Structure 1
């Protein structure tokens, strides 16, 4: 195991603000998980909770709480699927679309600023490294070695 990789990832998580679940790294005062849900739902196609859970890589129960919170905020609407009345699809409300747009603009600005501190070669290296790390994480999950949902007893 690489202690350096572990230390760098931990430092990145802290520096980027990912450890603060109630504020996005781009400074918006909403939970990070809700910001990701807003981004996924902003496509407008209407997702089921199961589809949203799959895209966010979260447990169904976590997404159920997340959707309830977003619904209380007035950011989403549940509509019956036209093809299958047992399925409820999630759509952003006008307020949800507004907030999603604000979060996306802040996210774009944040990454534009960060990219401005990197040269073209550095940016290429960062992107290559992140792709490699994502590939390793996917392989770990495929092989059943993803520890995130195991009991810690």
Structure 2
């Protein structure tokens, strides 16, 4: 299979002409699928799911977020996220607090137990992250992150 990168802006190109190995969305999904698969068994032994740990990961960095915003940050549909939050709350890992200015709004926080549980999950996540970037130097990583941030900005520009 030819590994050379084909021009991406050819509007008439079919997916077959571009090829899966040159189609960035396919590669990104495949990478994240493998990353999650690597962690799934580890988390299962702790009684956790990928979605639960992803939720705790975001809450470990961004506290006091609404369900709507958390859904965006975690890339989890709101219905799935609501069930996940119910479970995490029942486990004592997440708490919901009423908004200060609007009682209908609930802010989400990681509890001390949730922070500790995420702390136990983090080493496996970090190891998988490090393995993913093996043989990629700091300059390549920085360029990759800059490109991803540009892509995210481009996608946001086109959101309705």
Q: TM-score range by the shorter chain?
A: 0.5 to 0.7
Aligned partners of 1:74 and 1:96 also within 8 Å: yes
What residue is the counterpart of 1:39 in the other structure? 57
Correspondence 1:60 to 2:78: yes
Secondary structure, aligned partner of 1:78: strand
Cα-Cα RMSD: 3.2
Gaps of 5+ in 1: 145-153
Moved more, 47-56 or 2-11: 2-11
Secondary structure, aligned partner of 1:42: helix
What residue is the counterpart of 1:150 in the other structure? none
What residue is the counterpart of 1:12 in the other structure? 31
- Deviation of 1:48 after TM superposition, in Å, equals 1.6
What residue is the counterpart of 2:129 in the other structure? 111
How far apart, in 2, do the equivalents of 1:129 and 1:75 lie?
Answer: 33
Correspondence 1:70 to 2:88: yes
How far apart, in 2, do the equivalents of 1:106 and 1:88 lie?
Answer: 31
Secondary structure, aligned partner of 1:45: coil
- Deviation of 1:77 after TM superposition, in Å, equals 1.3
Aligned length, in residue pairs: 138
How far apart, in 2, do the equivalents of 1:51 and 1:92 lie?
Answer: 15
How far apart, in 2, do the equivalents of 1:113 and 1:8 lie?
Answer: 17
Give the structure-2-normalised TM-score.
Answer: 0.64
What residue is the counterpart of 1:24 in the other structure? 39
Gaps of 5+ in 2: 1-14
Secondary structure, aligned partner of 2:95: strand
